[in-house]
Structure formats: C-alpha cells, structure tokens
Chain A
Amino acid sequence: MGKSAAVARAKPRRNATRRSGDAHARTGLLMAAPVLLLVALFTLYPFGRAIYESTRVSSPIFPPEYVGLENYRDVISSRYFVSAAKTTLLFTAITTPLLVVLGVLVALLLNERFIGNTVLRIGMLLPWAVPATVTGVIWKWIFLDSWGALNAVLYSAGVIDSYIAWLTTPKLAMMAVVIVFVWSQLPLAAIFLLAALQSIPDDLYESAALDGASAFGRFWAVTLPGIRPMLVIVALYELLMAITNFDIVYALTQGGPGSATTMLTYFTWSESFKQLNLGRGSALAIVIALGSLLAILLLIRAMPRDALVEDAT
C-alpha cells in the first residue's frame, strides 16, 4: 500500500476519535485493564520479591535474616558459579552461530520448489512444538550409554565395536545437549528466516541475474541484505534461548556428568529447589537477569521501532 493511501485512511479515524470524548477513553482503559493488572501483578511484584529474597538468608531450618549483598558475593565467587557461567558461555557461543547458519540453509532449502515441501514445512514445526521434557526424554533414549538407540543402530550397522558413553563423557554430553538444543530450536529460526526470504521482491534477483551475478553473488548481494534484520532478531532470540535453556538439560543430563553440562539456569534451579537456598537462588536469578538484559537491549534495538509500537501521536 502506498504511503498516501495510508495517510488518507488515517485522517477520518483521527477525527472520529477526537469527537468521541472521555467516555471513549475510559472504555479503552477498562478494556485493557485486566491484562494490564494481571501482567503488572505477576511481573512487578515477583521481580521486587526476588530482589528482596536475594538479600536475605532463608532456609527451612533458620528464620530469614537480612544479609545485604552477601548472597551475591557468595554466589559469584563460588567456583560452581564460575564453572556454570563458563559452560553457559561455551554453549551459547556454539549454538547461536550454528542455529543462524543452519537456519539460513534450511530456509533457503524450504524456499525452493520440490515435492514434499509442504509436508516438510509443517513437519519441521514438530521438534519445536513438542514439550521440551519430551524432547529430553526422546533424546536421552537415543544417547543412552547402555542401550540407547544410537548405540544400538551404530552397533548393528557395524560402525562401532562397543557402545559409546555419550552421556557420561563430559565432551560428548555437551555435544549431545547442543544437538538436542539445535534440534528443538532450528524450526523456529528457519521459519522466521523463511518468512524474511519470502518478503524479498523477485525483481531484485532478476536484475542481479541480468547484471551477471552468480548464484553465490546473488545470495551475497540480494539475499543476505534482505534478511539481515531477521538474522539479527533470530541470532539474539537464540542467544536468549541458549542462556535461559533449562528443560533439555534437566531431562537429558541433569547437569552431568559432574558439572559438565550445568549451566546457569540449571545451577539456579538446583540452588533454589534442591538445596532449598531461596536467597542464593534469587541472587543468581537476578545476576542472570542482568546478564540477559544486555542481550535484551540489543534485541530491542535490532527491532524496527514500528514493529513494536505504532506511533500513537
């Protein structure tokens, strides 16, 4: 739609709303109120509560006691935290680029015409759509050291002579978590990128082809710039998902072997609900929140402004 048409359309609406006065505005506020109240109640209060909890020691045995920032100091200086932070960093650094590259490849593939394309597009969603614990269980069976499906298949095919301890070898366990995470996140990344690909006008490709650009040249000059905003969004989204990923680790490895796959969220959960140390758990949660905040701020910056809020003035 042209810009002038949009302006012409917006004008009568503005007049109409101006005529109807305060009553109209009150109705609007009333309509939005339930959502606003619910969201405010369930985000502002718990967040304040988390900050409050993080400044005290509470355990099932002792009465709560205010300790200032001690929880934060304890948590950050503990070697478990450092180890979990390193693991999280490593995991994020592997999965985010991997997902972006694979996402682009899959999107390019699904953008081609071939028999079975629709089935694949719809079926693609399944790994993303099944509950994450189901994902964890399925893949746990596949990777299981003792009688896992992968071992059984590889052994039957004569590829391996003895079963491989996928989940109890630190490096292999990490690799398993990466594979499962990619499996569950790839659909969304690919579908977002596919949508971006489809919004690139065909004539851009045609004129690039007329200029004698190769397939790779066209990808570089037309496709990549066309999907760049979505690339940034997908990268940051997957970054956030990698940092906050919990369910897969919980179901697949329980953070093990040892602490090889213990990432910050799993560590937080185990501090809070296994060690029942809510104060430390909250302090950890807030540290993670602040860490993710950086990624979030980048995410907002990357989004086109009008995608979030229509200019209300």
Chain B
Amino acid sequence: MRRQSLFRRILIYSGAMLLAFFCFSPFVLVMIGSTLPEVNLISFPPNWFADPPSLANFNYIFTGTIPESYQQRGALRTMISNEVRNVPRSMFNSAVVATAVMIINLVLGSLAAYAFARIRFPWRRAAFTFVLMSRLIPIVAIAVPYYVIVQRLGLLNSYWALIAIYSVLTLPFTTLVLTLHFRALPPEIDEAAQLEGASPWRILRDITIPLSLPNLVGAGLFAFMLSYSEFLFALFITTSSDRRTLPVLLGSLSTNTDVSWGLLMASITVGIIPTLLLATPVWRFMIRGLTAGSVK
C-alpha cells in the first residue's frame, strides 16, 4: 500500500476521534453518572464531583443498602428505589427469554435451513420466500392482534408468549443466514455420506452442524441479542413487575418522573453488560456473513 501523506493522516485520525467521541461519549457519561450521588447530578451550577465517586448506587441495586447521600439530605426516593431493585430480576427475565429463543432458533433454524439448502421438496422455493417475506410485515401491524391473542390465551405475563413471538421474529433471519451457509459447504461430503446410507437427519447432526459451529454460535447470539433488547411486545405482554424484561423496566424507569438519575445510570451500566460481552462475537459473525455473501 502507498504511504499515507501527513494531511491524509491528520484527516483520518481526526475523523476517527470524532467518530469515537460520537459513539462512546454517551456510555462514558453514563458510567461517570452511575458513580455519583443524585444531589451532585442535579446541582446547579453543575458540580458533579463535589463528593468522591462511589459504588453506592450499584450496592443499592444488588443489596438494597440505601446510599448514604440519600439519607444525608433526607431525600429518600422510595418509588424509584423499589423499581430499581428489579434490575437483576428483569435481566434474569430477559436472559431466560433470550436463551430460549436462541435454542429454538438453533434447533428449528438449522433443520429448516438444511432442508432449504440441501433437499429438494415441493414448493421449496415458495416456502423459503414466504419465511423471508414474513419479516417484511411491519411490527405495528401485528402488535395489536398479538396482544388480543396473547390475552385470550391467558398468556399475559408469561415467558411463553415472549419466547414464541421473538422466535417468529428472529427465525426468518436465522434461517436465511444458515441456509446460505449450509449451501456454501462442499456438497461432496453430503453425497458421500448419503451413499453410505446416512439419512438427512444423521448428516445434519454429524456432519453439517459440527462443520458450522462458528456460524451457529453467531446466528444464535444474534437472535439472543435481538430478543434481549426487544421492547414493544415486551411492553404490553409483561405488566407485572416480576415478569418485566430489562428494556421494559428501563423504559418505565425513564418515564418515571420521580427518577433518581444516579441509580438509573447504575441500572443501565449493569443492564448493558451482556450486550458489551456479546458485541465482539456478534460483530465478527456479521462481518463474516456480509463478506461471505459478496464472494460468489
């Protein structure tokens, strides 16, 4: 490659810094905010660092010990406090739902993908197109009927409703990705196994899946992440506090006028840890999927 000129390098680095600032500064602010007592955050003129930073907000979320700074000024905010204590529970709810969706995606998705990729059956093409196109129906158009159905089935506030809905929302994408991937595997292996008398189930289990593990993990995590973050359906399906998912809880905290921002920031910091952990593998998977798709 050519050596970069000085001007070009200045341009690149200032662009990179600008981009990093735009992308990351909100997260940095949140992390700073999470260590500060409420009184400092709302002070005017702003004086955030009047007291030394502490982890009292985090301590409250997990143990219920009320931060000293709240008691000092006699400004105890019980409403928000009670809600914030649900953060670990809501993360658990989100994780349960997302894990179930991931498993369903991997099992059903790889079955369907293998059929679409390798087996000829009537209406295969129509079926494949239908699964993909289903995702093009705008979510708002089916939100109300979902609510009515879930309500009639008595499944409001249940994991099952969320798991089913998220599976339907994520399966088309998983199926597409896995189909493209399975198709890219050399067919000779399948044919050899088939000549040996192996059934498609056997080939899928013993050959295709072991060969595709990285992609399966990527597709699974992708489904996990989308389910972990979904808001609209969770909002009307989970109404009781012990079933609310993390996005719903945070949404509710944010519209609570009695909100304590220090605690809210701490809740966010805790809540996005799974996302931070998943970012790298999911990104790798996305880039691989995109570049693999472009190489014919």
Q: How far apart are B122's CB and chain A's nearest CB, in angstroms?
A: 7
**In the complex the two chains form, is A246's CB within 8 Å of B251's CB?**
no
Taking CB atoms and an 8 Å cut-off, the chain B residues in 251-296 that contact chain A are 251, 253-255, 261, 264-265, 268, 271-272, 275-276, 278-280, 282-283, 286-287, 290-291, 293-296
**In the complex the two chains form, is B248's CB within 8 Å of A133's CB?**
yes
Collect the chain A residues with CB atoms within 8 Å of residue B46's CB: 147, 151-153, 155-156
Q: Which residue of A lies closest to B29 (CB)?
A: A149
A242-B24 Cα distance, complex, nearest whole Å: 23
A134-B249 Cα distance, complex, nearest whole Å: 10
Q: Which one of B52-60, B78-86, B132-140 is at the interface?
A: B132-140
Q: Which residue of B lies closest to A289 (CB)?
A: B141
**In the complex the two chains form, is B120's CB within 8 Å of A28's CB?**
yes
- Count how many chain B residues have C-beta atoms less than 8 Å from C-beta atoms of the other chain: 110
Collect the chain B residues with CB atoms within 8 Å of residue A61's CB: none
Q: Which residue of B lies closest to A291 (CB)?
A: B138
**In the complex the two chains form, is A141's CB within 8 Å of B291's CB?**
no
**In the complex the two chains form, is B140's CB within 8 Å of A35's CB?**
no
**In the complex the two chains form, is A28's CB within 8 Å of B119's CB?**
yes
A117-B13 Cα distance, complex, nearest whole Å: 10
Q: How far apart are A55's CB and chain B's nearest CB, in angstroms?
A: 13
**Does residue A308 face the partner (Cβ distance < 8 Å to B)?**
yes
Collect the chain B residues with CB atoms within 8 Å of residue A50's CB: 141-142, 144-145
A192-B289 Cα distance, complex, nearest whole Å: 11
Prevailing SS type, chain A contact patch? helix
Taking CB atoms and an 8 Å cut-off, the chain B residues in 3-53 that contact chain A are 4, 9, 12-13, 15-16, 19-20, 22-24, 26-27, 29-30, 33, 41-46, 48
Collect the chain B residues with CB atoms within 8 Å of residue A99's CB: none
Given A141-B265, A247-B231, are A131 and B138 also a contact pair (CB < 8 Å)?
no
A49-B152 Cα distance, complex, nearest whole Å: 13
Collect the chain A residues with CB atoms within 8 Å of residue B228's CB: 131
Binary per-residue interface labels of chain A (23-60) against chain B in the complex, 1 for a CB within 8 Å, 0 otherwise: 01111110110111011101101110110010000000
Collect the chain B residues with CB atoms within 8 Å of residue A122's CB: 279-280, 283
Given A138-B30, A272-B143, are A251 and B108 also a contact pair (CB < 8 Å)?
no
Q: Which residue of B lies closest to A183 (CB)?
A: B22
A155-B111 Cα distance, complex, nearest whole Å: 58
Q: Which one of B68-76, B123-131, B210-218 is at the interface?
A: B123-131
**Does residue A120 face the partner (Cβ distance < 8 Å to B)?**
yes
Which among B119, B254, B280, B283 is the interface contact of A133 at CB below 8 angstroms? B254
Taking CB atoms and an 8 Å cut-off, the chain B residues in 183-228 that contact chain A are 183, 187-188, 191, 194, 199-201, 204, 225, 228
**In the complex the two chains form, is B116's CB within 8 Å of A254's CB?**
no
**In the complex the two chains form, is B112's CB within 8 Å of A25's CB?**
no
Collect the chain A residues with CB atoms within 8 Å of residue B128's CB: 309
Collect the chain B residues with CB atoms within 8 Å of residue A109's CB: 12, 15-16, 19
Offer 8 A-B interface pairs, CB within 8 angstroms, sorted by A.
Answer: A13-B191, A42-B164, A43-B134, A122-B283, A131-B228, A131-B231, A269-B140, A281-B144
Which residues of A line the B interface, CB within 8 A?
Answer: 1, 9, 12-13, 16-17, 20, 24-29, 31-32, 34-36, 38-40, 42-43, 45-47, 49-50, 53, 105-106, 109, 112-114, 116-117, 120-127, 129-134, 136-142, 146-147, 149, 151-153, 155-156, 163, 183, 187, 191-192, 195-196, 198-199, 240, 243-244, 246-247, 250-251, 254, 264-265, 268-269, 272-273, 278, 281-282, 284-286, 288-289, 292, 296, 299, 307-310, 312
